[in-house]
Amino acid sequence: MRHFPPPSRRSHCTRNLARVLAASLTALVVVFLAAAPSQARKTNSPPNAAKAEPAKALRPGGPDTAAPSAAVPRKILLVGDSFALGLGLTLPQSLSRQGEVALANRGKVSSGLNSPQFYDWEKALAEFLAAEKPDALVVMLGGNDAKNGRGTPQWAQDFTAKAGRFLEIAGRHGVRVYWIGLPPMREKSYSQRAWTANEAMRSACSGASSCRFIESWDLFADAAGRFSAKKTVSGKAVSLRGKDGVHFTTAGCRLLTDRIVTAMATPR
């Protein structure tokens, strides 16, 4: 379990200076506020995370970015396939502004819910939850299932049931779950199956008592919802996907983990 310390405190000298300046300006502020007319703040409706991002610059964290108003969990368990392993590299950075948070990364390459003979996620999850006792569970699974699956309605129904059993295990441990959806893929047929897998996982999540599905599709899609290898982030064109057209670059991982942390700190 890795621990990330909270930001260092200001020095005693800095605090004294701040109090002196505050005392000096108090009278002026009070006079100004009394004289100035009240004005309502303008707010923008949050964009729909399920839809593709319009052709505009993205802020780190994506459309879900908002002023946090709830505490981020203190102990987080991250599970899933190679996507989850990638997120584990940047999630500590995204969490660094939230104080001390313990993170356990238990991803498994090439794993999925449809291949228990290779890696039994139901068994593994129960063991991880018992050992780590986290406050929250972050899940990113389904990439290998979508790649090797048929993507038919029957396949989607079966996959929803498997995701549901996975969530039942988390429910028995009383842990909050944040299930991360798959991004679009460069290969069109794979991308279509990823979309189907997302629908199945979202359906399972909606049926669980403490699961929140977090979209990733719009972060990595163009205005038409198709695979996009690059996007503008903080005014710069940034490569977000690897050469395989599947996995994320470090910048792509950070964009998504910023969104995850924002979702954790924002009430539903």
Tens digits of per-residue pLDDT, 43-67?
333 333 334 433 334 444 444 433 3
The reply to whether 10 falls in a domain is no
Q: Which two tokens stand for residue 168?
A: 């039942």
Query: Distance between alpha carbon 90 and the CA centroid of its chain, in Å?
Result: 11
The reply to whether 45 falls in a domain is no
User: How far is residue 58 from each of residues 53, 54, 130, 142, 156, measured CA to CA in Å?
Assistant: 8, 9, 39, 26, 32
The reply to whether 112 falls in a domain is yes
The reported pLDDT for the residue numbered 35 is 39
Mean pLDDT by 10 residues, the chain (268 residues): 44 40 39 37 36 41 43 90 97 91 96 97 98 97 97 98 98 97 98 98 95 98 96 93 98 97 88
Helices and strands, counts by H and E, the chain: 7, 8
The reply to whether 20 falls in a domain is no
The reported pLDDT for the residue numbered 199 is 98
pTM: 0.75
Number of domains in the chain: 1
The reported pLDDT for the residue numbered 99 is 83
The reply to whether 74 falls in a domain is yes
What is the DSSP pairing of strand 2-4 with strand 101-107? antiparallel
184 and 226 Cβ atoms separated by less than 8 Å? yes
Query: Distance between alpha carbon 23 and the CA centroid of its chain, in Å?
Result: 42
Domain containing 217 — which CATH number?
A: 3.40.50.1110
The reply to whether 102 falls in a domain is yes
- Closest Cα partner for 181 from 216, 211, 151, 146? 216
The reported pLDDT for the residue numbered 70 is 58
Domain span at 122:
65-264
Instruction: In whole angstroms, give the CA distance from residue 210 to residue 11.
Output: 41
The reported pLDDT for the residue numbered 253 is 98
The reply to whether 14 falls in a domain is no
Q: What residues have CB less than 8 Å from 64, skipping those under 6 apart?
A: 46, 49, 214, 215, 259, 262, 263, 266
The reply to whether 44 falls in a domain is no
